[in-house]
Amino acid sequence: MINESPKSITDVVGIQVGHAHDAEALTGCTVVLAPPGTVGSVDVRGGGPGTRETDLLNPLMSVNEVHAIALCGGSAMGLAAASGVATWLHERGIGYHVGVAHVPLVPAAVIFDLLLGRADRWADATMGYAACSNATTDAIAEGCVGVGMGATVGKILGAATATKSGVGTWSEHLFDGTIIGALAVCNAFGDVLDERGQILAGAREPTHGGFADARKVMRSTRGYQFFHRRRAMRMPSNADDQDAGLQHTTLGVVATNAQLNKMQANRVAQIAQDALPRSIWPVHTPLDGDTVFVLATGQHDAPEVTMLGSIAADVLQQAIRRCVTQAVSMGGLPAIRDLPTGT
């Protein structure tokens, strides 16, 4: 089952989103296509990011425009999908004009999903190209689709007791005509929390299947044992242990019709990162590659940056929670819709 949100990042005029995935390998790619003149920036907080062309989005760098953002499965190998996105754009004459050609600028970030499905296939250039071909301005599919195919959350007790996650989106229309939309894929090490701070999805107890609560586990001997075991897994003799490859990331794209310069877009990205600690615990750890992109299409006079960024954080929170509420059970892991009530 693939759901479509009544509120979507594609509510921002000109923003298109496309998914492509490998249903057997449980990996995929989601592409956000931006209209001409879009300004982009990024904020990277996680200790283990896998990214491409994010330095370009630094406010100190000279080029302002961005043509697409690619969110990819397959860990570092999945960055190859961005090349397919660039090819698709180049064929249509979209890119930064350098006199003799148009060079598409496609920042990208990846999640680690190799423990679910197959580890010998990942997002590639063909998949990135296909995601562009599938792009739409309509309401977009959520849950286990695109880059969300292999996403999971709650891995403090290991990959086998995680909960299935996916892609989520949300948007908000402000009174002055400003539109803020967000898209996220949540593949977090930590648990996902609801508005009250209660566990929405996360690590499950191996014995009874209820949520273990990473906050409690971290304060117990089990938390110590997990990190002690993880250090030991760095040895080659343990390379075949299923938990040895644990890597985690939440990726977000915030889009707005507001007119922002690169410095302002960067500040919005920083403020929007507040969505992650409000909805995930723990977060921004050395185990995560948490990254938030911002795209400003410039079609509307911008409200004050503090206002814009703060509301963007709220919108991104909702998108993150929808990553788990819209997911379905897959790859031997349950989604929260299939867990007993009160878990």
Lowest-pLDDT choice from 37-46, 202-211, 253-262: 202-211
**Within a domain: residue 326?**
yes
d(CA 161, CA 215): 16
pLDDT of 29 strictly over 50: yes
- The mean pLDDT value of the chain amounts to 91
Mean pLDDT of 57-71: 95
Going by C-beta distance under 8 Å and a sequence separation of 6 or more, which residues neighbour residue 52? 70, 79, 82, 106, 107, 108, 109
For residue 232, what pLDDT is reported?
Answer: 53
* pLDDT on residue 237: 38
pLDDT band with cut points at 50, 70 and 90 for residue 4: low
Residue 238 pLDDT > 80? no
Which residue did the predictor score with more confidence, 299 or 223? 299
Crossing angle for the helix pair 81-91 and 125-133, to the nearest 10 degrees? 50
Q: Does residue 110 register a pLDDT over 60?
A: yes
Q: Is 96 exposed, middle or buried (0-12, 13-18, 19+ CB in 10 A)?
A: middle
pLDDT at 235 over 80: no
What mean pLDDT comes out for the span 78-105?
A: 95
Q: Is residue 205 part of a domain?
A: yes
Q: What is the pLDDT of residue 18?
A: 98
Instruction: Give the number of domains in the chain.
Output: 1
Tens digit of each residue's pLDDT (9 = 90 or more) over 277-291: 999 999 998 888 999
Least confidently predicted of 154-158, 220-224, 256-260: 220-224
Q: Does residue 278 fall inside a structural domain? A: yes
Higher pLDDT, 247 or 79: 79
Residue 342's pLDDT is 57
What is the domain extent for residue 71? 3-338
Kindly tell me if the per-residue pLDDT of 17 is higher than 80. Answer: yes
pLDDT class of 2 with cuts at 50, 70, 90: low
* Domain contains 167: yes
Is residue 37, in this structure, part of any structural domain at all? yes
- Identify the weakest region by mean pLDDT among 120-134, 245-259, 266-280, 286-300: 245-259
Domain of 192, CATH number, reads: 3.60.70.12
pLDDT top residue among 221 and 218: 218
* Per-residue pLDDT at 105: 97
Q: Residue 250 domain-assigned?
A: yes
pLDDT class for 343, splitting at 50, 70, 90?
low
Residue at 174 is within a domain: yes
Q: What is the pLDDT, as a whole number, of residue 236? A: 39
Res. 246: pLDDT tops 50: no
In a domain, 343, yes or no: no
pLDDT confidence of residue 299: 93
pLDDT digits (tens, 9 = 90+) for 294-342: 999 999 988 899 999 999 999 999 999 999 999 999 999 999 999 986 5
**Averaged pLDDT, 38-57:** 94
